[in-house]
Structure formats: C-alpha cells, structure tokens
Structure 1
Amino acid sequence: MTDSPPDPQDVAALRGLVDGFIQERFQLKLEKLKGDDDEVQAQRLSLQQAHVRETWLADAAKRVPQIQLASHTLKPIHPDARGTNLYVDQPVCTDANVIGTHTLQGQRADDVVGNAAALDVFKFLKLQHNGQGLLARLSRKDGATLQALSSDAQEATQWAQAFAGIVDGKGGAASHTLAKQLYFPLPDDGYHLLAPLFPTALVHGVHTHLQEARFSDAAKAARASRRAKEPHEHGYCDYPGMAVRNMGGSKPQNISQLNSERGGANYLLASVPPVWKDQGTQPPLRVTSVFDKRGVIGRDRTVYLIAKALRPFLESVAAVGNNVHIRDKRAELVQAIIDRVLDMATELQCLNGGWSADPACKLSWSQKQWLDGDALEAAQAAHETQAVAMSAAEGAFAAPEATEWRDKVAEDFARWLNATLSTDKIRMGDADFVEWKHTFLEVLP
C-alpha cells in the first residue's frame, strides 16, 4: 500500500464500478422472479439483502476457494480427471521460434476452473479501471481499491487477500488415473514421468486468431475482392483441413470459463502431409442435400460401412428389448457416423467462402449457412447483381437473411439417418428421429 492517501475521485470511480457490477447481477436475478405473491416478495427482499455491497463482497470472498485462475488445465485431458491445474504468469520459455503461451504477449486471456456457480467472482475480478483489472489492484493492495470495497480497512484487506488467492493452486501437486502420463527418457539411465496439461490460454488465443481470420469483416471483404477479381489492401488466411473438438457437451462451462466462451469448440489444425495430386474437397453442387445418395455425405464410403454394421445389429436386438449394452453399442456406432459427418462438414467449411452462391448449388438455405461461412454475403452479392438487371416493373429481389439453421440441419440429419437405417425388419420412427436430432444438435458448433 502506498504512503500517500488515495485520490477520492479514484475511490469513488472504483466504488461505482463495484456497485454497478453488483446491481447488474441483482437486476438479472430479479428479472427471473415473476408475480407478486408473498413468497416472491420474500425472495425479492432476500435478493436485495444479498446484493448489498458489503454482504455480496463477503460472500464472494468466501467462494473464491471454489475456483482457480489457470493457464494450463486438466479437465480437457479427461472431463472426470481430478488433479492440479497451473497458473503460469511469467513465461517459462522466451524463444520466439517456439509457439507457446509466451507468444500471446498482451493478447493473453487467462482461464478459470472450478465450480461454475462461482464464476461471477471471476467476472468481478476482471473489471477494469484505468486499464488495470481489479485482481491486479487487489493483489498489490492498492489503497483506492481497498477503500472502494469497504470503509473498514481490516475488512477490505481480508477481502483483498481472499480475492488474490484465486491464483493459488488447490492442494498439493497431483495427477490422476484418468490424466495422461508418459515416460520421457533421460540421457543417462532413468526417465522423467511427465503429466501433460491442456494449454487453455494458448488454445483460446489460437481460437481468437482463427475466428478473426475466418469471420472478421476485413477477411470477408478480402475474400469478396478475390471472388470479384479486384485488388484489396490486404490479403486473408485460409486454414484448410481444420477439425473441431467439442468439449463439455451441452455444458461447456463445466470444463472452464474460456471453453464456455468458445461454446466448447476447440480447433485442431491439420498436421498431415500434403497430397499434391488430389483435387481436394469439391463443393456439393447439383444436389438438394448433402445427405442425398449423390451428396457428399450420402455417398461417403465410411458412412456406408458404419451404417452397414449398424443395421444388422439393430435387427438382431430388435426382439431382445433394450439394455445398457445395446444402448451403448448403438450410441457408439451412431456417434461414429456423426463424427464422420462433422469431419466432412469441416472440409466443406474450409473451402473458399462463397461457393454456395454458384447457380449450380441447389442446397437448402440452412445447409448453405452450415457449410459455407460466407453464404450470406455471397447470396446478397448475387441478389444485388440480379436486382440491377431487373426492370422496376419486375420488382426487387429480397436478399436472404441469416436464419437459425441448426434445428433444420439437425432435422435433415435425423431424417436421413432414419431412412438409412430402416429395413424391412426394422423401421426407425419418431422417437429415433428426436434422439438423432438431439444428439446431432449437441455437437453442432
């Protein structure tokens, strides 16, 4: 703490920042309470009391041990693993030729793991004032920040110590039976036993870069100029052959905060040797659906072989009934089909954007949005070009709008899978349709 007294204006600004955050949390919870009966009124009063600054801060300080700031985490290795997560603030490696967390520099975003119900404490500590976060201020016991928390210096100091503890590890260093471990040979006899952790801060930095390269306005404008064969002030980057690993299912926040911000998506860059003579993935033209027999997915050999194995299995157990072994085997084969479908979808998504505007592309609008990241821009450009050629009497084209395509694509998948698996002996019905749709929706990015 500095010897000079804090600036009163600085204290007032910080207190306003804290009070504003707490009131915002209060209003969000208050909006969920409907009605005016006695029970609801009591709940409103309880919420109001819980969101008094001193009360909320005291409760938040008690909840800090439930979460931990982290740069390298364990759960992405296995969701049920329990062990050490690390927060590495200072770079261990400084070699600019090696890609690592140290290369993020000022663009680094730290992660937080633990009880998802306590993530509001982390959001509180991320609040910024004059370019500095509350966590950094509290860690160095900044006088203005302490006074903003409480007029009681001892109470404010105790809260600051509790909040600063978010960077501390929980318990001693420990691995887990579900964590990955590997023996690394030493120059002399013996080995080091290594327990790799997931570089969550680096992964999020890569994800941010890829999203910018694929979907930013600047990148879309550069691609549009390329399609129009016009010059542009800068280029753009393509990352073909990417895959997406989804973590956390319908609850990505259970893995970590940054994983939740990404919707569970974690990009995997292709690390395979190039095939120079291969023409690569071609846009699905002249078919009304990628699931048609002539479509990319409908005619895929791998999908055909998995379905060929699944059909006789379903026929063989039709008279047996249902048990956990049958459900697990069926889910395993269906998941294999979904994995292959997503692989092919990713290949199409990595094509040069705008291919769906080709007049030969007969896909539904929902499938175009799914498979072509520039579908909307390309369609609007095509409509504008056609509208210019039309006379006023003919009327103007209505440019397509971005729509929620996920439900429709999942329905297309479920309908196709029902038709693919149905035989003379077994018929897939509405219950199967709902199950396939729900399962597919969970993994759509």
Structure 2
Amino acid sequence: MTDNTRSWQAAIALFIQDRLQAKLDKLPDDDPKRAELLAQHQYDAWIEDAARRAAQIQAVTHSLKPIHPDARGTNLYVEPASLPALEELGSHTLGTAFAGDVVGNAAALDVYKFLKLEANGRSLLAALLAQDEAALQALHADPAQAQASRDAFVGLTQPRAGGASSHPLAKQLYWLTGNDPCADGDYELLAPLYATSLAHAVHVPIQEDRFGEANKAARQARRERKAHDGVFHDYPWLAVQKLGGTKPQNISQLNSERGGVNYLLASLPPAWKASEMRLPVHAESVFDRVFSARPWVKSTVRQLRKFLESNLEPNQETRQRREAYIETLLDELVSMAGTFQQTMPAGWTRPGADNEGRFQQLARTEQLWLDPLRAELPDEADFAREWMGMDWPAEIGKRFAAWLNAQLENKLPVGDAEFREWKKVLLTDEDSFKQQLRELRDRLDTPHDIPIRKTHAELVAEREDTP
C-alpha cells in the first residue's frame, strides 16, 4: 500500500467517522439504533452504500433547476478548462479552480460531499475521473469492487440516459443561425441553463465584501471619514435572488450552502449623457442644429411660446416677463459661443485636412463670432480685418432674431429682438481680446497684418465721419 493510498484512506475514514458521530450525538446511549448506525458506517459498507446512492444525484456546472424548480430536463457537467476561451466573462474563466454543484435527491447530497474530499493535492472525484490508482485502492481492497464503486461515483458527472431534453417549464428561445428569418430551418432552439459554478464563484467574494470583518472595518472608516489602510468594496444596486424558498437544498448543494442567496449585479444600460457642445458639422448656421438642441433653450422657447399664446394684456408686466425669457436665451447664446471660443482650436472653422471641411459651410459671420482666435494665424489677415471691422455682431443679432421669430411662429413683436446692443452682448470684453491678439502677435516669428492699433470706438467714428 502506497502513502497516497493511506492518505486517501485516512481522509475517507475521518469523513465517515464525523458523520457517524454527528448522528450518535443525537441518540441516547441505550438507543438500539446506535448498533444499526455503527454497522452502516463501517468503512466498506458505507462506501458501497454511497456508490449505490450516487445514481440519485448528478454533478453539474450548469443546472436547470434554478430556472424552475419543477423543470425536469438535462443538466450539464462541463469542466470550465475545457470550454472555449472567450473575451466575455463566463464559466471558462474559472479554469481548474471551480466548485462543482450537485442536483437530485437531497438525502444523497452527502455522497457529493464525500467526493469533494481532498488529499494528495486534488479532490477524490478528480482523482477517480483520472483513474488514480491510489484513490481506487482506497475505495476497496478488491480491484473489481473498487472499479465498480469508481464507475458509480464518476457516473454522476455524466448526462442522464435518453439524450438531451428540455421541459415545458424551462426557458427556451429560437436563435437565428441562417439568413432567412422566415424559414424554420434557419433557427436553433436554445435552452439556457444556470451557470451554477460561476454563480458560486461570484457569490463568495461578494459575501466576504459584504459581511467580512476587513470590509466592515473599511466601511466603518469610510462612514466616519477616517483614514484606513484597507480597501473598501461596494456593489451599488446589488440584488438578491432567493432560490428554493425554505428548502434551498432542493435546488442544489451549492445553493444550499449559500442559503438560497444568489447575487445579481446591476446589469443596466449606460446612462447616455449628451455632449454639452455639439458641432455644426456641414451646417450653415449653429442656430438650428446646435443652439436649438440645448435643453435649456428648448425649455425656454417652449415656455415663451406658451406665454405669448396666452393673449395677455400688453402692459409693463407682460413686457418684463417676455424680456426675462429673451434674456435667458441670450445667456445661453453667450454661453454656447464661449464654449466654442474656449475649447476649439484656433482656425477650426476654416477648410483644411484637420476637419475635412466639415465646418466650411458655416456662415462667415458665425465663423467670425465663434472662431475669433483664427485672427491670430499668420495667413488670416483678411479674417482678422473683418473681425476688427465689428460688422458681424449686428449680423449675429439679426440671425438670432430671425431664428427666434421662426421658433415662435412670428408671435414676437418686430423690433424686440433685433434692436439690441449686440456688440456689448456678444463680445463681453473687446479690449481684453485686443490685448490677447497683441501678445500673440509679438510671440510669432512671422509678423502679419492684423489691424489692432485702432479701438472699436475709433473704427465706428471713422465710419460715421465717412460721407
């Protein structure tokens, strides 16, 4: 007899003795059942009975019972290492470190516990599946009897006779495998099973993170805002699915060990958050595609239209309310322009390889408004001259007025939107921008003609003096 055989025998004998002692402790010393239990738990007798009862259970990695406890169909035992390697998370990621499950008669679940005994670096079931000679000798001194017991034990990993089958209470779905969705022959009928070994592998670390002492200490430190050396683990939106009710062992052995608890991680679609800045790709104006799409703009226009349709008296209060709505839109207008001016690179509106001409259709007036730093580029003297000419703010004002009247279906009295101090509203700080252009020009190696010597007031005075 080898040392490996002795190791298996010692593990088996201890397992049988522990089960016997647990039952004897429940009986008085003079109970006649004690002698019966002692006979049943003799080494060879217990293994023989366990081999007989092994047919009542089935080892599985993918089970049907969690789908529906009354479903009667095929369960599968597939070692994860034998599954195809995929990028997605699945049972294949468990490798050789996995916990097999067992379904069937709950009274025979002790047989699987027996097969999970470990010695010599692996479980008894794994050893028997590999025809380990030491494990066979530990089952019985007679080789034929040992082989018969081994075949009975490993039989619980094999599919039941009769071939694969589903059940009316099991989930089923048709999966299109061909090209014609109208042809029945182009579908495969799939019967999903519950990946019980994978579920158990997920359960163990989550359970430790929820109730383990280490995470409790980290959670307490986080609650009290104190420094902590450990790592705090949390699982937002975690759900718990209870399988089996008050009898979780009727589902499976691992489900019984978990008390019927099966964790469901949040499987939610990503919350789509629209970008705050849309680009006017192949657009002639930012008003229709970009400005109109801003949430606050849409809300304000809707409220203003409703207000104007209410036929209120043309008094001071009405004018003030209307002015407040328009001021809100103007704030949004300045905010949108500021986003373009501060985040987009200089010259983003001009045709070129960088933007593939996506913005060259934008009106020249709006290019001057939204891309002012384009004036600092060496080959953009004409653009700089137009910008400093200060004709474009009034044009932007007209565009805004036309857009707003179109949104309100011409309900806004003419003149309320057009005649405003657009230069003051749209430029915010003209002198600061002039200074920025001066500093940028001074740093350029190649000087270019940007007419920045005259102030806006001087340019306006010149135009007014011209006959």
Instruction: Bin the TM-score by the shorter chain.
Output: 0.5 to 0.7
AA partner of residue 77 (structure 1) = I
CA distance in 2, matches of 1:235, 1:16: 41
Partner of 1:387: none
CA shift for structure 1 position 106: 4.6
AA partner of residue 22 (structure 2) = L
Partner of 1:214: 210
Partner of 1:202: 198
CA distance in 1, matches of 2:155, 2:271: 51
1:177 maps to 2:173: no
The structure with higher relative contact order (CA 8 Å, sep 6+) is 1
1:30 maps to 2:24: yes
CA shift for structure 1 position 35: 5.9
8 Å CA contact retained: 1:66, 1:115: yes
Q: Secondary structure at the match of 1:183?
A: strand
1:15 maps to 2:14: no
Identical-residue share of aligned pairs (%): 53
8 Å CA contact retained: 1:107, 1:205: no
CA distance in 1, matches of 2:8, 2:82: 30
8 Å CA contact retained: 1:91, 1:101: no
CA distance in 2, matches of 1:21, 1:35: 22
8 Å CA contact retained: 2:136, 2:146: yes
8 Å CA contact retained: 2:102, 2:252: yes
Give structure 2 stretches of 5+ with no counterpart: 181-185, 274-467
Partner of 1:94: 85
Q: Secondary structure at the match of 1:79?
A: coil
Matches within 5 A, 1:15-414: 15-34=9-28, 36=30, 40-41=31-32, 43-89=33-79, 90-95=81-86, 97-171=87-161, 172-189=163-180, 190-273=186-269
CA distance in 2, matches of 1:154, 1:91: 30
1:67-115 CA distances to partner (integer Å, 9 max, x unpaired)? 11101000111111000000111342312x3010112235421111111
1:231-283 CA distances to partner (integer Å, 9 max, x unpaired)? 33342221122221111111100000010011001112222357799xxxxxx
Q: Secondary structure at the match of 1:82?
A: coil
8 Å CA contact retained: 1:147, 1:153: yes
AA partner of residue 197 (structure 1) = L
Change (3 A) 1:146 1:271: closer
Q: Work out the number of aligned pairs and report it.
A: 266
Q: Secondary structure at the match of 1:198?
A: coil
Change (3 A) 1:274 1:145: closer
Q: Secondary structure at the match of 1:240?
A: coil
CA distance in 1, matches of 2:82, 2:207: 25
8 Å CA contact retained: 2:203, 2:263: yes
TM-score by length of 2: 0.54
Q: Secondary structure at the match of 2:66?
A: coil
AA partner of residue 34 (structure 2) = R
8 Å CA contact retained: 2:4, 2:120: no
TM-score by length of 1: 0.57
